[in-house]
Amino acid sequence: MKGFREISEQIRDGITRFIEAGDDTESALDKTILDMKERLAKAKDLVATAIAEEQRLKRTYQEAMDSAEIWGKRADAASQAEDLERASDARERQQQHLSRADHYERQINVQKEIVDRLKTALHDFYQRFRDAVKRAETLCYRQKQTETRAKLYKLLFDEIDNDISKAFEQAEQKLKATEVEVDVWERKSRSTTPKPETTADKTDLDEALANLKNDILGSRGND
C-alpha cells in the first residue's frame, strides 16, 4: 500500500497539473474566440464589399436606363422633326444603353443571390460566434471556480495530515522514551534502598540484646 506522503504528493501534483491545464485551456479558448472574432470582422468586410458591388451595379444600371431614356427622347424629337438620320442614330444609342442596362440587371440578380448567401453564412457564423463566446465565458467562470476550490483544498490539506501524524508520532515516541527513563531510574532507586527489618530479625536482635544484658548482669552478680 502506498504511503501517505506518496499519496499526498500525487494529489498535490494532480491539482498542480489541473491548474496548469486550466491555464492552457483558458488560453486556447481566448485564442479560439479571438480567431473567430477576426474571421467575423473579415467576413463582414467581404459581405460589405459584395453589397457595395451590388449597389454599384444598380447605379450603373440606373445610369444606363437614364441614358436610354435621354436617347429615346432625342429619337422622338428627331422623328417629329422628320430627321430620320438623327432619329435612327438616337434609337441605336438608346438600344445600346438598354442592352447595357439589361446586362447590368442580370449581373445585379446574380450579385443579389451572392449577397443573400453571404449574409446567411455571415449570420450563421455570427450565431456560432455568440454561442462560442457564451460557452467560453461559462467554461472560464467554472474553471475559475474550480481553480479556487483546488487552491483552497491544496492550501488546507496539502501534507497537513501527514505533518499532524508526524507531530503526534514524535510526541508519542518522546513520551515512551521518558517512561522508559523513569522505569530505569525507579529500578535503580529500589536496588540501592536498604531493605526494612522483618519481625523475625527484630525478635532475634531483642533476644541477643537480652542475653547480652543477662550475661553482663549475671557476671556482676557473681562478683
How far apart (Å, rounded) are the C-alpha atoms in residues 26 and 36? 15
Among candidates 67, 91, 65, 69, which has minimal Cα distance to 79? 91
For 4-158, CATH number? 1.10.287
Where are the chain's structural domains?
4-158, 160-192, 196-222
Do 84 and 51 meet the contact criterion of CB atoms below 8 Å apart? no
3-state SS, 70-118, equals: HHHHHHHHHHHCCCHHHHHHHHHHHHHHHHHHHHHHHHHHHHHHHHHHH
Q: For residue 159, give the H/E element and its range.
A: none
CB neighbour list of residue 125: distance below 8 Å, 6 or more residues apart: 36, 39, 40, 43
Name the range with the highest mean pLDDT among 33-42, 56-65, 206-215. 56-65
Cell of 123: 449570420
Among candidates 52, 97, 51, 94, which has minimal Cα distance to 75? 94
Alpha helix stretches (DSSP H) within the chain: 4-80, 84-157, 160-192, 199-222
Tell me how many degrees the CA angle 153-157-158 measures, rounded to the nearest 5: 100
pLDDT in tens, 75-118: 999 999 888 999 999 999 999 999 999 999 999 999 999 999 99
pLDDT in tens, 163-194: 677 778 888 888 888 888 788 787 777 776 56
- State the pTM of this model: 0.55
Percent of the chain at pLDDT > 90 equals 43
pLDDT at 192: 67
Which residue shows C-alpha cell 505533518? 163
pLDDT at 172: 86
For the chain, what is the mean pLDDT?
80
Cell of 96: 445600346
How far apart (Å, rounded) are the C-alpha atoms in residues 205 and 218? 19
pLDDT in tens, 124-147: 999 999 999 999 888 888 888 988
59, pLDDT greater than 80: yes
Residue 134's alpha-carbon distances to 122, 128, 129, 137, in angstroms, are: 18, 10, 9, 5
Residue 139's alpha-carbon distances to 59, 105, 124, in angstroms, are: 49, 50, 22
14, pLDDT greater than 70: no
pLDDT at 15: 44
Q: How many CB atoms lie within 10 A of CB 32?
A: 12
Quote the DSSP letter at residue 193. Answer: S
